[in-house]
Copies of this chain bind each other. A is one copy, B any other.
Amino acid sequence: MDHQILQTTRELIDEVGYPALTVDQVATRAGVGKAAIYRRYASKAEMAFVATMHDQQLPAPAGTGSLHGDLLALVRAFHVRMAAPAARALAPALISELSVNPELKSRFKDTFLAAEQAAFAEIIEQAVARGELAGAVDPAMAHLLLLGCLASALYILNLPVDDAMITDLAAATTAGITALADRHHSNPDKAEPPSRADKTAEPH
């Protein structure tokens, strides 16, 4: 029944769009009771999230041999998904729902977000092993710098996002991660009087 509900949800999002989607429509077409849906999902947003974003496979690691190459491949793959009309249609409702629905928030954090952050952990680990980074960087921070930025550009700031911007974002994130690795691993003095920190935190 799970599969049937989610498949029907995807079909209806394609046909009528997310805003017009209702739990009633899904129940009717899938031939299940509304109560059965609400036992599984607290809301239309959670049902749509699970149907569209939650069960997607992450892109396979690119293994380009460089931190910049791996980040660029990753952000390009995510951009295709995140800029798709279905994702753009769902994002505002999902953002809104996440802020008021603790159950959806922990599901989002423990599955979707954790899997994305794990992909960054792997890329960072490989860069450390190659000697590109002075040490590990918090994968959640690396994720924020690249995909958090992209989400903001697409869903909050509504900026035009083209491949030149994606490329700049990957380059800036590479430099940012490199600076954080230096900051947390090469620099014994983490406390920072601003003028000294400026000299040590900035790569040149």
Within 8 A of B (CB), among A36-72: 64-69, 72
CA distance A94 to B145 in the complex (A): 23
Chain B residue contacts of A68, Cβ below 8 A: 194, 197-198, 201-202
Across-interface contacts of A95 in B (CB, < 8 A): 92, 95-96, 155-156
Q: CA–CA, A1 to B79, complex, Å? A: 45
Contact mask for chain A residues 135-168; partner B; CB cutoff 8 A; 1 contact, 0 none: 0001011001100110111011111000001011
Q: Does A172 contact B (CB under 8 A)?
A: yes
Are A66 and B195 CB-contacts (below 8 A) given A98-B158, A145-B149? Answer: yes
**Structural contact, B172 and A145, CB atoms closer than 8 A:** yes
The answer to whether A109 and B176 touch across the interface, beta carbons within 8 angstroms, is no
A-B contact pairs, 5 of them (CB 8 A): A99-B158, A144-B157, A145-B149, A171-B183, A171-B202
Starting from the known contacts A88-B99, A148-B152, A171-B183, 17 additional A-B residue pairs (CB-CB under 8 Å) come to A19-B100, A65-B195, A67-B202, A92-B99, A95-B95, A98-B158, A99-B158, A109-B158, A144-B152, A144-B169, A145-B145, A172-B176, A175-B179, A175-B203, A176-B176, A178-B202, A203-B204
